[in-house]
Structure 1
Amino acid sequence: MDVIGATRPAPGRVNDDGFVIGAGFAAVFDGCTDPGRDSGCSHDVPWLVARLAGHLSAALLHRPDLPLPEVLAEAIRGMCGDHGDCDLSNPDSPSTTVTILRETGDRLEYLALADSPLVLRDVDGKVTAVVDDQVDRLPSYTFDAVAYWRNRPGGFWVASTSPEAAHRGVTGEVPRASVRDVLLMTDGVSRLVDRYGYDWERVMDLADEAGPLALIETVHGEDARAGTAGGRPEPVRGKRFDDATAVLCRIPD
């Protein structure tokens, strides 16, 4: 498959997103931690994203026999081993979403853990979104509530200190020949649908016609206009600006 990706931070911030591209695979990450809370970890979020990306890439390259949840669990275990003396029992330990696409023979396999969607367009033009929406069903979104429900049955799961989380995402596979292109993105891009009234077809068209960077510039433009005269209202929940990452995978005939 032919792959192109782009990532940009929110204005004035360090980028907590990331992506990796390799032989027959792509993955995106959206790192997070609660500001002002003791995470028990001496490392920042970009460190965590980079470490997990490295371990995941190695596992995808060297263990093609493993199902994607096992690949991700192996990567999380490797990342945890890099933490040294950090307190991995702390519920506020840094974490990241992970969304993976892997080409295996005549199949495309995917895994989406937490709120970084994946969108497939088939050869007939039909668009299907794969979304792990566990976080949208939490009873509360205070810092304490999110910390309590993170990586807990009945709550939501992210890549952090528990390899078990790798088995809690949305997984699937489709025939390679049935797919034209696949778009992986963090929620800094998918807010075009969730917040700004776009549909998935429009997002896919923009990515395909202008590329992932243009998609990011579009969403950051919408963020800048939110709350201004003539713009959309500011969000009730979530950040006004966010890091944004998109990876477009075109599947040749």
Structure 2
Amino acid sequence: MISGPDFVVVLDGATAPAQLDSGCVHSVAWLVARLGTQLALPLLARSEAPLADLLADAITAVRRAHADTCDLANPDSPSSTVAMVRVGDEQVEHLVLADSPVVLRAPDRSVTVLADNRVDLLPEYTFEAVRRLRNQPGGFWVASTEPKAAYEAVTGTTNRAAVELVALLTDGASRYSERYGHSWEDLVDLIDTAGPKTLIDQVRQYDAAADPTAFRGKRHDDATAVLCRLRQTEPPQAGQPQP
């Protein structure tokens, strides 16, 4: 996770089986660290470029850093999900690539979930199927070696006045709702009142008690949850000068 005065980025590297030949001499942690650095630099510099452009540029820079040592055509090259939020004077921008959702809560407490669920729509979830459909049309997209994946992300903007709280979650934390049956409103209320650690602790308790054959994927997963409260500006009163 990286953050600045007006942005938050959450990255979740894909854990590969020990026997996997990724064609890369680097670890997933290396990819995530490099990708985070390349995203932080323009965001801290207050770039006004669209988030998808920033992500595409970051993937390009990381690709360049190991092009001479690694097989970048290997579909199993290290990869990561991406969730990004940038808050402006008028808009809240978001980008979601793969299964790390962003959740917005409005002042009226209504909740909007911004998610990329294409991995859940795969016709099968075998190792070969995932390998074949990663970063392919009709499959799903992640940040790895293909800059074009950035333009397949779920992106958009929301009026800042309509957002009081933002939560960014990896799938190890979002399973509180996606796997264990709580509403997204419940998830946001929990993280708001008790904090991200409590959310993750409760997910861990559910993970420990769950039937490991009942769900697809890993019984336990890395979990990150970030809560951002947006400072609201009061509209000017009648008769007051506009700022």
Q: TM-score, normalised by structure 2?
A: 0.92
Measured in 2, the distance between the counterparts of 1:22 and 1:154 equals 35
Q: Which has the larger radius of gyration?
A: 2
Measured in 2, the distance between the counterparts of 1:21 and 1:33 equals 23
CA shift, 1:33, in A, is 4.4
Larger deviation, residues 25-34 vs 47-56: 25-34
Name the SS of the counterpart of 1:60 in structure 2.
helix
CA shift, 1:136, in A, is 1.0
Q: State yes or no: 1:242 paired with 2:209.
A: no
Name the SS of the counterpart of 1:244 in structure 2.
coil
Structure 1 residue corresponding to 2:4, chosen from 22, 26, 38: 22
Measured in 1, the distance between the counterparts of 2:15 and 2:229 equals 33
User: Identity across aligned pairs (percent)?
Assistant: 53
The superposition leaves residues 3-59 of structure 1 with CA deviations (integer Å, 9 ceiling, x where unpaired) of xxxxxxxxxxxxxxxx11112000111111431210001111111111101101112
CA shift, 1:234, in A, is 4.3
Uncovered stretches (5+) of structure 2, i.e. residues with no partner: 233-243
1:164-179 aligned at under 5 Å gives the runs: 164-179=148-163
CA shift, 1:137, in A, is 1.1
Query: What is the identity, as a one-letter code, of the residue corresponding to 2:218?
Result: K
Larger deviation, residues 164-173 vs 61-70: 61-70
Q: State yes or no: 1:75 paired with 2:58.
A: yes
Larger deviation, residues 71-80 vs 159-168: 71-80
The count of residues paired between Structure 1 and Structure 2 equals 230
Change (3 A) 1:117 1:97: same
1:106-185 aligned at under 5 Å gives the runs: 106-185=90-169
Query: What is the identity, as a one-letter code, of the residue corresponding to 1:236?
Result: F
For the aligned residue pairs, the C-alpha RMSD in angstroms reads 1.2
Structure possessing the higher relative contact order (Cα contacts under 8 Å, 6 or more residues apart): 1
Measured in 2, the distance between the counterparts of 1:135 and 1:147 equals 12
Structure 1 residue corresponding to 2:35, chosen from 39, 43, 52: 52
**Larger strand share, 1 or 2:** 1
Structure 1 equivalent of residue 237 of structure 2 = none
Name the SS of the counterpart of 1:102 in structure 2.
strand
